[in-house]
Structure 1
């Protein structure tokens, strides 16, 4: 398998999630930055190797054909908005994702700053979120996040494309959503009721037993299985974020998968329900305000990008229609019609 981007980087304590849209005419600049991404990362992180600065770049469906000739990844398409009876998974603009991680926020910040400097007016920032580690890998709701991520070879099998799409082997689909929490409403619940919403114990971080696991819990609805009965896995690298002054508290969801269907099935269960649940009860306290789908190609793809699509040729200008012959010159203008378009 081709060398992937650092999708399976070790857990970080800081992250910047940067989503941009590409302006018309900005394609060449974006291509140059994608190719130079490893060098930019090294330039920022070379003096602090133990802090493990990494960056993954993902490309959206709307811009793929503007950046690269040839086929696109088999499963790449725009984020599919979902409208349930009570809650909505919105689709928002996003052409390129930069997922920056480290043990230090200053390194994440500096790499994001240099990326934006290089990109300049070729892009517009659609969303920027600075995430942080909260206690022992908990979200702002107080529960440990990411417990069920696969590890080792199982993680690679879950997130990297293979023989099913050989042109893009070693890549990964990545979905992002920004959720805002109503902490006042959440904290009005008892710990036992919070545990029933999530499906795990708050202190011990263990799943509720089968007899006590509500069908509309977050854990129950995010467990999906394939035709063979095996659980379909993804790798999440969610981060809390917030602004005390603005009263904004949330979780930035980011999930990597070998194919987008597993991520989309989880969202369908959450927003549209799966019998007997009408929807995931966590949505009564967490509102999705963004939604994008990207493909993070293998590192070698970024090192040697496919050619950019040829610019469309301008339409040939029609020959001018000849002036009408001057009155009384005895000519019918026949000579002047040579080569003129037929009317």
Structure 2
């Protein structure tokens, strides 16, 4: 891990969000221990913040945790249940989330243990999942386990900053980000049973060259989630990664926005709330959880938790 304070000081956001997808990662969620009060929570967060540089460890706080501290963050709310007839999109609200980023899973295990000890006894681990890059192309994107490139439509540069980070909200909020975290479990047998054309049409791109298919069906994932097709436009900064546990595998969908609005626009359309057309992804994969978190900004290389009554530690 980097030494505290070693991250760039000229940006207000946690830099790992902007840096992209690491070689390996751990997605770890924590829940409050019964009886933990605001004082115990603040003590735990005070111990935690020196371990969170925003790059090797990215931190997100759930709405219930913010409320437990007697604070309020604009635009932050719990993950809605987007389910409708024939489509299940569960809501599993989270308390505290850490995205551990690196190149060695063994190292990330030790980082996780340090974070776990810092948060105890007020917090306990609820869920931990390891992610990795697949078929990574240097200077490009990784691939989903279906073989399709992931993140093709990600904004870059200033457009990525505009999409992913809050601006114009004031000190302690500018540079923060609102993240949607959603674990999808793939049915790879169902996907592999599709013909080549059906695979391409499910995504709306050709697997062979990643080119978008103009006459793809309306159920194609690319058409369902075309960011510029919404009003207002729904741009997100995706940092999703494949995962596997035993013989189960899928995609840990992680998307950062300046609020939750863009994600909700996309998820509602995917589930068919807008026009009754369901994204083809639901035929080969399903979400098993979903939560929202607020990722605090940085100030002078450290987490800025002023809005939680903790100041800059």
User: Please, what TM-score do these two structures have when normalized by structure 2?
Assistant: 0.85
Q: Which residue of 2 aligns with 1:326?
A: none
List alignment gaps of at least 5 residues for structure 2: 1-9, 137-141
What's the secondary structure of 1:62's corresponding residue? Answer: helix
2:198 is paired with a residue of what secondary structure? helix
| TM superposition outliers: structure 1 runs of 4+ over 6 Å | none
Aligned residue in 1 for 2:196:
191
Report whether the alignment pairs 1:141 with 2:146: yes
What corresponds to 1:337 in structure 2?
Answer: none
SS in 1 for 2:151: coil
Alignment CA distance shift 1:257-1:53 (3 Å): closer
Listed one character per residue, the Cα deviations across residues 182-241 of structure 1 (whole Å, up to 9, x for unaligned) are: 1111110112111100111112112112xx2221111111124477x6743101111111
Q: Within the alignment, does 1:302 sit opposite 2:276 as a pair?
A: no
- Tell me, in whole angstroms, the C-alpha distance in 1 between the residues paired with 2:111 and 2:281: 34
Residue aligned with 2:256, SS: strand
- Counting only pairs closer than 5 Å after superposition, residues 124-203 of structure 1 correspond to structure 2 as 124-136=124-136, 137-164=142-169, 168-203=173-208
| Paired position in structure 2 for 1:22 | 32
The residue aligned with 1:3 is 12
**Rg larger in 1 or in 2?**
1
CA distance in 2, matches of 1:233, 1:141: 24
Give the direction of change, closer, same or farther, for the CA distance of 1:37–1:208 in structure 2 (3 Å limit). farther
Aligned equivalents of 2:168, 2:55: Cα separation in 1: 30
Q: How many equivalent residue pairs?
A: 291
Shift of 1:168: 1.2
- Per-residue CA deviation, residues 70-114 of structure 1 (Å, 9 max, x unaligned), is 4x2211011100122211110113111111212332332221121
Cα offset, 1:278, TM superposition: 1.9
- Tell whether the 8 Å contact from 2:21 to 2:133 is kept in structure 1 after alignment: no
User: SS of the counterpart of 1:31?
Assistant: helix
- Structure 1: distance between partners of 2:13 and 2:126: 26
CA distance in structure 2 between the partners assigned to 1:290 and 1:304 by the alignment = 27
Deviation at 1:11, TM superposition (A): 2.7
CA RMSD of aligned residues (A): 2.4
Counterpart of 1:120 in structure 2 is 120
